[in-house]
Amino acid sequence: MLDLLNLPGVKPVDMYKESKALIIVAVTEMVKVPLCEGCNIPMHKHGTRKNKFSDTPLYMEPVRLEVQRPRFRCESCGKMAMPELSFLDDKRRATKRLVDVIRQQCLGTTFRALAEQTGVAVNTVKNIAHDLINELSQTVRYETPVIMGIDEVNLAGDYRCVISNLATNNVFDMLEYRTQEHLKPFFKDLPDGDKVEWVCTDMWRPFKRSFTQYLPNAKLVIDKFHVVKMASEALEEERKKYQAQLGKEQRIYVKKSIRCLTLKRPGNLTSPEQKALEIVRQEIPELAVAYDFKEAFFGIYDEPDKQNAQNAFEAWENSLPDQGLEPFKKLAKTVHNHYEDIFAYWDAPFPITNAYTEGLNGLIKMVNRLGRGYSYEIIRAKTLYSAEARKVGSGIRAGRGKVEYGPHIPTLLKQAESGELD
């Protein structure tokens, strides 16, 4: 029979099909009679043993190897021995090359699909993946970002932390929880912590409390999108109030179109949308006032420097009426609570935002949905060690070997859209 196995020490003698796998029967080639390890005398042949091992698929079918090996016995001490097969995995009833294939593919496909394709149990795939993830977490090191983004994402049932490199648009790390107990050790152990110059986060206080003592040169800037989002949310509160006053038919109309019209920036409105918005302004003057406050708040970020931005905010706050628009007054209060860190935006050499991390949130939500049942650890590994996305922006030489920044966020997004990350 043709040696379609190409495994050292065995040759195939038969092949047949079982319901779920192709069975290849193999025998060991010429085996030398071993010496007993304890007695140092030749052993005697003592029957044969048959064992089954999973191997790489053949003709798109899972393969089970049925290996027949001679068994030897020491007549002096009774010890048994069988010829060793170097191609077997140490931990599993599988060939090393099958374990290699599973390692290569387990972070890029579902465990179930890989189990079906190879005929091994889902739990075996899971165990191989866990071993791989442990190895990767000890060996893969990404360059500490000079401009670091910290964001929260709801993943596998909890709020997690995504740390990104905002200069290169790479994911740097993911933390299981966003509490100080998880954040502090991360920053404490971060190599090159003095390299971090800027940290961009939302207003979640523990972020700042966790890193300040460990990143001596880092300045905090509250992410622009999280700040202006509050103005949109304030407008939404107002809109719902006026919507409640409308009749049923009008309300449906308001919900479907006014929400979009008022949340969009004027520059993004098409000309029919501009006309529609004009009608809304005339019909609901109270909403028009709220809309103008929302837009004026967004306008603060169009200011060219810090002084002008702070002046614009002051003017905006002073123009709020004594009565009503409570959501916007709440927003003004929040800005005061984070005043320095919000206006630090204009201290940075160029605008620093978490825009890509926000995109990443969408991606992780998609991974969440597709990979239902995956643990946080697996989703983290699928994101952080994605082979394709790691290639982008890596391999830059900087004197002491290869520098890697982590998986490239736009590449991850593309992969997620095409379903490659399932």
Query: Given the rule CB under 5 A, which residues bind Zn ion?
Result: 36, 38-39, 74, 76-77, 79
> In angstroms, what is the minimal distance from the CB of 73 to Zn ion?
9
Rounded to whole angstroms, the maximal C-alpha distance in the chain is 104
Burial of 421 (0-12, 13-18, 19+ CB in 10 A): buried
| Structure tokens, 327 | 């959501």
CB of 32 or CB of 400, closer to Zn ion: 32
Radius of gyration of the chain, Cα coordinates, nearest whole angstrom: 31
Give me the least distance between CB of 36 and Zn ion, in Å please.
3
Instruction: Give the nearest distance from C-beta 24 to Zn ion in angstroms.
Output: 34
As a whole number of angstroms, the distance between CA 234 and CA 59 comes to 61
Closest distance to Zn ion from the beta carbon of 386 (Å):
52
- Helix locations, 119-195, DSSP H: 122-139, 180-189
Q: Judged by CB, which is closer to Zn ion: 24, or 74?
A: 74
Which CB atom, from 35 or from 288, has the smaller least distance to Zn ion? 35
Strands 61-73 and 22-28: parallel
Q: Sign of the C-alpha dihedral, residues 378, 383, 385, 387?
A: positive
Q: Considering beta carbons, is residue 36 or 284 the nearer one to Zn ion?
A: 36
- Provide, rounded to whole angstroms, the least separation between the CB of residue 385 and Zn ion: 48
Query: Considering beta carbons, is residue 36 or 367 the nearer one to Zn ion?
Result: 36
> Which residue is it, tokens 């002046």?
311
Q: Give min distance, CB of 35 to Zn ion, in A.
A: 9
Q: Which is nearer to Zn ion, 37 or 340 (CB)?
A: 37
3-class DSSP assignment, residue 357: helix
Residue with tokens 């940290």: 199
CA distance 106 to 112: 10
The nearer residue to Zn ion, 38 or 395, going by C-beta atoms, is: 38
SS3 content of the chain, % helix, strand, coil (to 5): 45, 20, 35
Considering the complex, state which of residue 80 and residue 260 has its C-beta at the smaller distance from Zn ion. 80
Measured distance CA(102)–CA(119) in Å, rounded? 11
Nearer to Zn ion, 74 or 175 (CB): 74
**Would you give the end-to-end CA distance of the chain in angstroms?**
40
Residue 53 near residue 33 (C-beta atoms within 8 A): no
By C-beta, is 75 or 158 nearer to Zn ion? 75
CB of 71 to Zn ion, least distance (A): 14
Residue with tokens 């995504």: 162
> Shortest gap between Cβ of 46 and Zn ion (angstroms)?
13
Nearer to Zn ion, 18 or 75 (CB): 75
In angstroms, what is the minimal distance from the CB of 39 to Zn ion?
Answer: 3
The answer to whether 36 and 74 are in contact (CB under 8 A) is yes
CB of 77 to Zn ion, least distance (A): 3
80 forms beta bridges with 73
299: region left, alpha or beta (phi > 0 left; psi from -120 to 50 alpha): alpha
* Short-list 385, 377, 369, CA closest to 103: 385
Element of type H or E holding 176: none
How far apart (Å, rounded) are the C-alpha atoms in residues 317 and 309?
Answer: 12
Q: How many residues does the chain have?
A: 422
User: In angstroms, what is the minimal distance from the CB of 82 to Zn ion?
Assistant: 15
